[in-house]
Chains A and B, each alone.
Chain A
Amino acid sequence: MSNKYSLDYLEQLESESIHIFREVAGQFEKPALLFSGGKDSITLVHLALKAFRPGKFPFPLVHIDTGHNFKEALDFRDWLANEIGEKLIVRNVEDTIKAKGLTEPKGKFASRNALQTYTLLDTIEEFGFDCCIGGARRDEEKARAKERIFSVRDEFGQWNPKLQRPELWNIYNGKIHKGENVRVFPISNWTELDVWNYIRKENIDLPSIYFAHDREVLEYQGQLVATSKFIQLEETDKVSVKKVRYRTVGDMTCTAAVESNASNINDIINEIIATKTSERGETRIDDKVSEAAMEDRKKNGYF
């Protein structure tokens, strides 16, 4: 790449994502950035800084807190919002459960993942958000591979894969009726490895749980789940302290750790290059429920 008028692939991806962010700012009245404290949404925040500084973000950060999050991720969330001086809105799944009388899932790994959608839709209604920016990537899962960058949802938040708008060139059609909203995915075209390479290149801060640390974990069907008050231990359970890190950060009840000695970003990238398991396959307990688990959740308003 000797030509001085050429971009490498991370610069190309970055430029495309910034363009998408600015389309959101230009097309919507009341957008929001859904922020989880995970590496993908942290990357989104970094891209938004590049898209809008020295101005303020034209949207708040919104976190739908299941109450089952890792403390490290929550601390990081608060630190980052404060560091960049942007507004953070937190809404709790716990409150929705109480207010709406929702039934908590039962079982060993009782996950509030599905209940999140209720709180998200309520939050969208409460603030009148017409667009929610999310960090989903198309390489994650096959339902996501088919979703547009601008994905229109009806007033129930539902994704209808059959009625997606064709997306041509770099033209994004964000026109909607009142009550509908658009989910926008600026890093659709990034892979897990692209995100990590970008984090390294840009020297982006991450929560400590992405790096190897000692943790008490339960071994369950080949996966390592952190022990916590959200998980019911039985006497037969095999619990031990292992050196682990997280490849994705979701709820403590549905995110598995991986054994690792990777204590810095170069080690992590080498691990990901060598891995034989996909990101969601290795770390997400919630995707394994059925062949179409993600597709079903998306149709109900999930990201």
Chain B
Amino acid sequence: MKLNNQNPPLRGGLEGLMDILRFITAGSVDDGKSTLIGRLLYDSKSIMIDQLEAIEKQTKNREEGEIDLALLTDGLRAEREQGITIDVAYKYFSTPKRKFIIADAPGHIQYTRNMVTGASNSDLIIVLIDARQGVVEQTRRHSIIASLLNIPHIIVAINKMDLVNYSQDVYNNIVIDYAEVAKSLGLKNVTYIPISALNGDNIVETSVNFPWYEGESLLHLLENVEVQNDINLTHPRFQVQYVIRPQVDELHDYRGYAGRITSGIYKKGDKVVVLPSGLHSTIKAIETGGKEVAEAFAPQSIVLHLADDIDISRGDMIVLENNQPKVEQEIEVLLNWMDKKPLKQGNKYLLQIGSKTVKSVIREVEYKIDVNTLQQLPSPEEVQLNDVVKATIKTASPIAFDSYKQLRTNGGVILIDETSYVTVGACMIQ
């Protein structure tokens, strides 16, 4: 990678109208994923001199003025020694417009598990395609996972354009091919961009090497994609994390339900119902940051006060009477298995939804999904690490939930092994 960095400093933080974009990059080292992340960090001046010196030392066969920015995303000694990759690493950079959090899920092994983890919190996914290879099986796999996890925005970055002479025909053909994939998966908000991460073409500035490309640079796209609209403000959901009860005389009546609004808007005076108990009350007051406010919205952390003294504990949900989630003891899920020990039908696990944990049993595994083709395969005897299956789960007590497709923030649950306490599965409620 050439370090002819002439761009003005981009680090943010001057006066903040900034918001946050969380994104995941999908692709392998071969697609230039690490180089792309290195390029974004470098060009946004998020790499410091001492860090550059450290990777310069590691760069082998270094040509003049070139260092291997892929090394920046390289991990721990434990990984290097054993040739493995560990889960997801997070990288940060910012521009005056936005703070960016990159979930970097590396490697081919355990890829589904890692990508599901990284994708669960992402607003956007960059699907990297090697211009010489076009749409391949891996591209489909990444796109299928993006659709399962309901990532709101997709950028298809067609990389290594320098190796195909910046050919518009090559680019157009890949766009046509990918559009088929997107159509079959029902993917929306797909943007295409030709790039060369290695040379920095179309990364920060649009490149003269693409006279035929009329869009914006990758960084410009990342800075301007509208994510505020992805926050649901129409279905109020609030789960109690902790009950604040000051043990002092002057506040002996104070009973505040602390938690985070995951979607929607809450107003003083709203008629509410507590789930799963079904008890009714009215919002007496809302506090945020110690101040009383008339209304609060997602994703604010707040304290709610109700007009009635009713029994409410951690994990209970407070919602509006006229807009309620489902409250049931049986859920249908798409389940990604994340443990080496296989899952069997009939096994019991702890199920955690937000701040609520209940016992559960896997009632039925209906079928397995081929993550390369989306085909339904017969239900396996044992569900292995990385498998995605359709399953039915019964819980020991009712939980309040929404369909993941409709409300991402109240439709995802994890499964925990009852004896090892390890997180073994991620479920998207259907």
Please tell me if A263 contacts chain B, counting CB pairs below 8 Å.
no
The segment from B177-185, B195-203, B413-421 that touches chain A is B413-421
State A171–B416 Cα separation when bound (angstroms).
11
Cross-interface CB contact of A276 among B48, B113, B259, B414, cutoff 8 Å: B48
Closest B residue to A8 using CB positions: B16
Q: Chain B 220-244 against A: per-residue CB contact (8 Å), 1 yes, 0 no?
A: 0000000010010100000001101
Cross-interface CB contact of A193 among B13, B113, B114, B408, cutoff 8 Å: B13
Q: Which residues of A contact B299 (CB under 8 A)?
A: 7, 12, 15-16
B423 touches A55 (CB 8 A): no
Closest B residue to A279 using CB positions: B48
State A6–B228 Cα separation when bound (angstroms).
7
State A193–B15 Cα separation when bound (angstroms).
12
Q: Which residues of A contact B9 (CB under 8 A)?
A: 273-274
Please tell me if B134 contacts chain A, counting CB pairs below 8 Å.
no
Interface residues on B, range: 35 or more
In this complex, the member of B89, B247, B412, B426 whose beta carbon has the largest number of chain A beta carbons within 10 angstroms is: B89
Q: Chain A 14-39 against B: per-residue CB contact (8 Å), 1 yes, 0 no?
A: 11101100110110000000000000
Q: Which residues of A contact B412 (CB under 8 A)?
A: 168-169, 171
Cross-interface CB contact of B117 among A10, A142, A167, A281, cutoff 8 Å: A167
State A278–B113 Cα separation when bound (angstroms).
32
A292 touches B241 (CB 8 A): no
Take A18-B260, A161-B86, A276-B48 as given contacts and tell me if A55 and B19 are in contact as well, using a CB distance cutoff of 8 Å: no
B422 touches A145 (CB 8 A): no
A54 touches B246 (CB 8 A): yes
B245 touches A55 (CB 8 A): yes
State which residues 273-303 of A face B: CB under 8 Å: 273-278, 281-282, 291-292, 295
B16 touches A173 (CB 8 A): no
CB distance from B60 to the nearest CB of A (A): 15
A9 touches B300 (CB 8 A): no
State which residues 385-417 of B face A: CB under 8 Å: 408-409, 412-414, 416
Take A278-B50, A281-B50 as given contacts and tell me if A52 and B77 are in contact as well, using a CB distance cutoff of 8 Å: no
Please tell me if A166 contacts chain B, counting CB pairs below 8 Å.
yes
Cross-interface CB contact of A22 among B49, B101, B251, B258, cutoff 8 Å: B258
Please tell me if B353 contacts chain A, counting CB pairs below 8 Å.
yes
State A278–B56 Cα separation when bound (angstroms).
16
Q: Which residues of A contact B241 (CB under 8 A)?
A: 19, 22-23, 25-26
Please tell me if A219 contacts chain B, counting CB pairs below 8 Å.
no
Q: Which residues of B contact A177 (CB under 8 A)?
A: 421
Q: Which residues of A contact B74 (CB under 8 A)?
A: 142
State A43–B421 Cα separation when bound (angstroms).
31
Please tell me if A99 contacts chain B, counting CB pairs below 8 Å.
no
Please tell me if A238 contacts chain B, counting CB pairs below 8 Å.
no
State A9–B48 Cα separation when bound (angstroms).
23
CB distance from A194 to the nearest CB of B (A): 7
Please tell me if B54 contacts chain A, counting CB pairs below 8 Å.
yes
Q: Which residues of B contact A56 (CB under 8 A)?
A: 246-247
Q: Which residues of A contact B91 (CB under 8 A)?
A: 145
B-side interface mostly: mixed
Cross-interface CB contact of A146 among B18, B76, B256, cutoff 8 Å: B76
Cross-interface CB contact of B242 among A25, A139, A168, A197, cutoff 8 Å: A25
CB distance from A148 to the nearest CB of B (A): 8
Take A54-B244, A177-B421 as given contacts and tell me if A15 and B413 are in contact as well, using a CB distance cutoff of 8 Å: no
B260 touches A15 (CB 8 A): yes
Please tell me if B217 contacts chain A, counting CB pairs below 8 Å.
no
Counting residue pairs across A and B whose Cβ atoms lie within 8 Å, the total is 198
CB distance from B393 to the nearest CB of A (A): 15
Please tell me if B138 contacts chain A, counting CB pairs below 8 Å.
no
A168 touches B77 (CB 8 A): no
Q: Which residues of B contact A13 (CB under 8 A)?
A: 20
B113 touches A166 (CB 8 A): yes
CB distance from B30 to the nearest CB of A (A): 22
Closest A residue to B18 using CB positions: A9
CB distance from A174 to the nearest CB of B (A): 9
Take A5-B265, A168-B120 as given contacts and tell me if A273 and B353 are in contact as well, using a CB distance cutoff of 8 Å: no
Q: Which residues of A contact B297 (CB under 8 A)?
A: 5
Q: Which residues of B contact A15 (CB under 8 A)?
A: 260, 299-301
CB distance from A152 to the nearest CB of B (A): 8
State A273–B8 Cα separation when bound (angstroms).
12
State which residues 150-199 of A face B: CB under 8 Å: 161-171, 173, 175-177, 188-189, 191, 193-194, 196-197
State A112–B84 Cα separation when bound (angstroms).
33
CB distance from A293 to the nearest CB of B (A): 10
A9 touches B99 (CB 8 A): yes
Take A168-B412, A170-B354 as given contacts and tell me if A3 and B228 are in contact as well, using a CB distance cutoff of 8 Å: yes
CB distance from B357 to the nearest CB of A (A): 8
Please tell me if A98 contacts chain B, counting CB pairs below 8 Å.
no
Q: Which residues of B contact A193 (CB under 8 A)?
A: 11-13, 94
Q: Which residues of B contact A173 (CB under 8 A)?
A: 352, 414, 416, 421, 423
Q: Which residues of B contact A166 (CB under 8 A)?
A: 87-88, 113-114, 116-117, 338, 423, 426
State which residues 8-31 of B face A: CB under 8 Å: 9, 11-14, 16-20
In this complex, the member of A14, A146, A162, A189 whose beta carbon has the largest number of chain B beta carbons within 10 angstroms is: A146
State A79–B196 Cα separation when bound (angstroms).
54
Q: Which residues of B contact A275 (CB under 8 A)?
A: 48
5 new A-B contacts at CB < 8 Å, known A51-B301, A166-B87:
A1-B17, A6-B19, A171-B353, A171-B412, A191-B92
Sample of 18 A–B contacts (CB below 8 Å): A1-B17, A6-B19, A6-B231, A10-B16, A15-B299, A15-B300, A22-B258, A22-B301, A55-B247, A55-B256, A163-B422, A167-B423, A168-B120, A175-B350, A196-B13, A197-B16, A275-B48, A278-B48
Q: What residues of chain B have their CB less than 8 Å away from a CB belonging to chain A?
A: 9, 11-14, 16-20, 48-51, 54, 74-79, 84, 86-92, 94, 98-99, 101, 113-114, 116-117, 120-121, 228, 231, 233, 241-242, 244-247, 251, 254, 256, 258-260, 262, 265, 289-290, 297, 299-301, 314, 338, 350, 352-355, 357, 408-409, 412-414, 416, 421-423, 426
Q: What residues of chain A have their CB less than 8 Å away from a CB belonging to chain B?
A: 1, 3, 5-16, 18-19, 22-23, 25-26, 49-56, 58, 138-139, 142-143, 145-146, 161-171, 173, 175-177, 188-189, 191, 193-194, 196-197, 201, 269, 272-278, 281-282, 291-292, 295
